């Protein structure tokens, strides 16, 4: 075990996933509390995690992930630990994970302690109890009873929303009177690439999620004057600005954007994209899902509702984008070489903010200039953040379009890999991690929405349209399924 005598914790982001800011913060917090941390980094397969756990004689294994397929990887780690006779506690963390998923999908495969950890601030308490022989039995009894209640609730269907048959949900689609609509034609259709200076992006940064990543609750700029959080928040902000100054001064990042605006029409819940304005042939299809939960008289939305149907005869358009702040690896390595873990994590988190700022900046450019439907738009950062402008940019893998594999369509449509040097891992995580991609829709009523639970009827229909096996679709859409694929219910 550890040199400090408190305990040794192994941390890793699972195979296929490149996001590690949260995991790194957990590592720093544990080290500050006297634990020894072995960090295996990102994209780590189960075998490597377990080999390192044995070799390093660790006391706890912690796995993390941000995207849906990472949940499967964590189940695999638990199964392997069971198969190999491990007894070590397994901690589960990261943005897509939940107590419910841990209780239902992970704990059932591993007889040792498996505990979901909500955020870094809880990690120390959990690890402390797990490694304290006196405290562990009562703690684990409490956790297991809680997980059992979670499973029973799920089984009793209290968590299940009333789902409409997909045909009924489609009958409740959002309707537009297309007979009087004239969708804006892009001023500059086709595909465009450009680079943006870091200096140009800094005014577009939304700092609130930055503070959230560091587990400081509150919104920017109010947090800077908060009685409790104000002082640490101001210190963190000053450090972040210093790193941005350095990135700018040394030209460490070259933020790049790729944008395409295409002739498009809706066909059912999907959007057909055409190679040119004549609408001959089909460049690709953006496959879409529709909300199925019963919504007391309100519409059941799909993104395709915001695009003119093909049979309306109205010529509509849709866009796609992929942007990256670039890789900050060289700067991170420089900080890590001097054991400055704090600055290394800070560099990653400001680069994430730059990627989001670039998505905001690019969308503005599209609305004003490339698509040009809002040439005179002039909004301050506050209005941009609250999205008071016309049009949306939903991202595959997020609530309105939860299927991450649609990124493959987007990447091939824009030739993203060659054009801006971003690529997808096998789990459809974007690398470099500080990247954003999505679709552009310009309908004046277009809005973001959560997909909620999906019925088996829609999943079968989607699988047939997309030509992908049902089991594979179910794996990608696991958190959205309104049924258990294993029991056929």
The residues annotated with a catalytic role in the active site are 17, 19, 70
Residue 28 to residue 47: CA distance in whole angstroms: 25
Residue 265 to residue 304: CA distance in whole angstroms: 8
Please, how many CA atoms are within 13 Å of residue 461, restricted to the half-sphere of its CB? 16
The secondary structure element, H or E, covering residue 318 is strand 316-324
User: For residue 433, what are the CA distances in angstroms to 51, 292, 324, 379, 423?
Assistant: 26, 32, 8, 28, 10
CA 346 to chain centroid = 19
The secondary structure element, H or E, covering residue 10 is strand 8-13
DSSP 232: H
Residue 487 to residue 466: CA distance in whole angstroms: 24
Please, how many CA atoms are within 13 Å of residue 433, restricted to the half-sphere of its CB? 23
Per the CB < 8 A criterion, the answer to whether 98 and 68 are in contact is no
Tokens of 271: 């959007």
Residue 323 to residue 436: CA distance in whole angstroms: 5
Q: Where are the alpha helices (DSSP H) in 270-380?
A: 329-337, 341-365
Cross-strand partners of 62: 11, 91
CB atoms within 10 A of CB 366: 25
User: What is the full DSSP assignment across 179-211?
Assistant: GG--PPPPSS-EEEEEE--HHHHGGG---HHHH
Per the CB < 8 A criterion, the answer to whether 40 and 27 are in contact is no
The secondary structure element, H or E, covering residue 431 is strand 430-431
Tokens of 474: 């179910």
Q: Where are the alpha helices (DSSP H) in 60-197?
A: 69-83, 99-101, 120-130, 136-155, 166-171
Backbone angles phi, psi at 69, to 5 degrees: -60, -20
């Amino acid at each position: 075990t550890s040199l400090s005598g408190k305990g040794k914790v192994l941390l890793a982001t699972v195979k296929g996933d490149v996001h590690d800011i949260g995991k790194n913060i957990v590592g720093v917090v544990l080290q500050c509390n006297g634990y020894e941390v072995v960090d295996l980094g990102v994209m780590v397969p189960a075998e490597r995690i377990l080999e390192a756990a044995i070799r390093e004689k660790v006391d706890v294994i912690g796995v993390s992930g941000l995207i849906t397929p990472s949940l499967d990887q964590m189940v695999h780690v638990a199964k392997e630990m069971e198969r190999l006779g491990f007894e070590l506690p397994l901690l589960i963390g990261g943005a897509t994970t939940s107590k419910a998923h841990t209780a239902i999908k992970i704990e059932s495969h591993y007889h040792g302690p498996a505990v979901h950890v909500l955020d870094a601030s809880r990690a120390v308490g959990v690890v402390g109890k797990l490694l304290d022989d006196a405290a562990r039995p009562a703690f684990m009894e409490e956790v297991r009873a809680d997980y059992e209640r979670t499973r029973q609730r799920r089984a009793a269907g209290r968590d299940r929303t009333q789902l409409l048959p997909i045909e009924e949900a489609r009958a409740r689609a959002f309707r537009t009177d297309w007979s009087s609509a004239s969708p804006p034609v892009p001023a500059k259709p086709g595909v465009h690439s450009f680079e943006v200076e870091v200096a140009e992006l800094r005014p577009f940064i939304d700092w609130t999620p930055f503070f959230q990543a560091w587990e400081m609750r509150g919104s920017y700029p109010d947090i800077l004057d908060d009685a409790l959080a104000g002082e640490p928040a101001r210190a963190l902000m000053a450090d972040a600005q210093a790193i941005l100054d350095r990135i700018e001064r040394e030209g460490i990042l070259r933020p790049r954007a790729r944008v395409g605006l295409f002739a498009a029409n809706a066909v059912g819940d999907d959007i057909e994209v055409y190679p040119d304005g004549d609408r001959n042939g089909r460049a690709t299809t953006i496959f879409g899902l529709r909300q199925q939960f019963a919504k007391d008289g309100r519409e059941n939305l799909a993104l395709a509702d915001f695009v003119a149907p093909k049979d309306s005869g109205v010529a509509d358009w849709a866009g796609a984008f992929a942007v990256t702040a670039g890789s900050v690896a060289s700067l991170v390595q420089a900080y890590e070489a001097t054991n400055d873990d704090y600055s290394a994590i800070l560099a990653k988190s400001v680069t994430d903010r730059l990627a989001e700022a670039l998505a905001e900046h690019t969308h503005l450019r599209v609305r004003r200039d490339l698509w040009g439907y809002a040439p005179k738009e002039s909004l301050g950062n506050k209005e941009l953040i609250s999205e008071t402008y016309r049009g949306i940019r939903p991202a595959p893998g997020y609530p309105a379009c939860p299927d991450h594999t649609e990124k493959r369509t987007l990447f091939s449509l824009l030739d993203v890999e060659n054009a801006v040097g971003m690529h997808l891992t096998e789990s459809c995580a974007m690398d470099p991690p500080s990247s954003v991609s999505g679709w552009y829709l310009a309908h004046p009523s277009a809005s973001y929405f959560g997909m909620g639970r999906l019925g088996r009827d829609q999943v079968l229909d989607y699988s047939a349209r997309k030509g992908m096996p049902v089991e594979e679709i179910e794996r990608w859409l696991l958190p959205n399924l309104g049924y258990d694929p294993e029991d056929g219910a």
